[in-house]
Structure 1
Amino acid sequence: MKGVPLLLNGAIKIVREDKKGEEILLYFLERGDTCASSFASAISNNKCGIRAIAEKESEIIFLPKEKLDEWLVKYKSWRNFVIDSYNIRLNEMMETIDTLAFMRMDERLYKYLTDKAQILRETSLNTTHQDIAYDLHTSRVVISRLLKQLENEGKIKLNRNKIEILEF
């Protein structure tokens, strides 16, 4: 990383990709957020182990890595922002692990949908069953069946390439 991104507007999903190209969603970034992995990558000059994908039109500024150390010493507010960012991302990573370890797939799916709606600030999500399956690291067939179940429970309404969240 040649700089650290700061998201001014929009929404970005952060995914981890394995050597076979399979992905799993780690967390979302929203306005005012930055990615802690980017800090570590920029400071250590190592490759970042994550990938960022814009979920909607986004505006980002990149802070030059040459200024990171200087600003950590010079500006207490910047140091607090960096530490808070690490803390937030660590908590989100633990939540992701908890979700994978302790939640049933239908619960994971509904949490994913409501989290995404909240980040995008939209109750109507333009997405496909296959895209959701990629994010949750499962099959499209499983997602389609569980989406139909959620629709029958009155939590969502399914349309072609669109899911409307009815309950939060």
Structure 2
Amino acid sequence: MIQELNRSYGNVFEGALINEILQVGTYKEVPAGFTLMEIGSYVKGMPLLISGAIKVLRDDKNGDELLLYYLEKGETCSMTMTCCMGQTKSEIRAIAETDTKLIMIPIQKMELWTSKYKSWRNFVFESYHIRLNEMIHTIDSIAFNNLDERLLDYLREKTRINKTNTIHNTHQDIAYELHSSRVVISRLLKKLENKGYIELHRNSIEILNLD
């Protein structure tokens, strides 16, 4: 674990903090599709991603999902930190997008490290800043972009995160994450296929050219 931690966070945290993380952190490996956090649950730890990716989603009052952002190597979730510090229930759902390795930090260490380590404090503030910008981008996308543009952005981000041109999601999966309907998403995907951008298969989409 020490080598992976140093590769991901050695240029972010000082040595003393790295050593404390090794002492108190819990190393986990989770498969793609694994739910790390559910809406309404109490948060007992904060994740530091070593590898892989996690998607963070919200539910509306009807139970429909909306994809907020992805977490990647060297990152953490600011909404998780907020719940930890306030000891409140989670307002987000976190699901592993790919096979993921992470270290869970106990909540009791978070406030202590904020005052003890400048690098931790900077990391926390930077994480808030990044996640806030990503949520603003999501809001702007919903408010100002049509669904065609949002779908294209979604497909591009999926291929980047998963490092493959084949997306293993059903039309219904995509509809949930874009807060739309399967019928609408299927129609837009067919339009993209007719333009030669993608090729549709059963439960998967092959990206040909989205540039």
- After the TM superposition, which parts of structure 1 deviate over 4 Å for at least 4 consecutive aligned residues? none
Offset at residue 40 of structure 1 (A):
0.4
Unaligned runs of 5+ in 1: none
Offset at residue 61 of structure 1 (A):
1.3
More strand by percentage: 1
Give the aligned partner of residue 65 of structure 2: 23
Taking only aligned residues, the RMSD between alpha carbons, in angstroms, comes to 1.2
Rounded Cα–Cα distance in structure 2 between residues aligned with 1:157 and 1:83: 42
- The amino acid that maps onto 2:85 is I
Give the aligned partner of residue 199 of structure 2: 157
Rounded Cα–Cα distance in structure 2 between residues aligned with 1:46 and 1:148: 43
State the structure with more CA Rg. 2
SS of corresponding position for 1:61: strand
Tell me, yes or no, if structure 1 residue 59 matches structure 2 residue 105.
Answer: no
Tell me, yes or no, if structure 1 residue 92 matches structure 2 residue 134.
Answer: yes
Aligned pair partner of 1:39 in 81, 94, 101: 81
- The amino acid that maps onto 1:145 is R
Offset at residue 95 of structure 1 (A):
0.4
Tell me, yes or no, if structure 1 residue 148 matches structure 2 residue 196.
Answer: no
Offset at residue 100 of structure 1 (A):
0.2
User: What is the TM-score normalised by the length of structure 2?
Assistant: 0.76
SS of corresponding position for 1:56: coil
Of 117-126 and 44-53, deviating more is: 117-126
SS of corresponding position for 1:154: coil
Offset at residue 19 of structure 1 (A):
3.5
Offset at residue 166 of structure 1 (A):
2.1
- The amino acid that maps onto 2:123 is F
Identity %: 56
Give the aligned partner of residue 171 of structure 2: 129
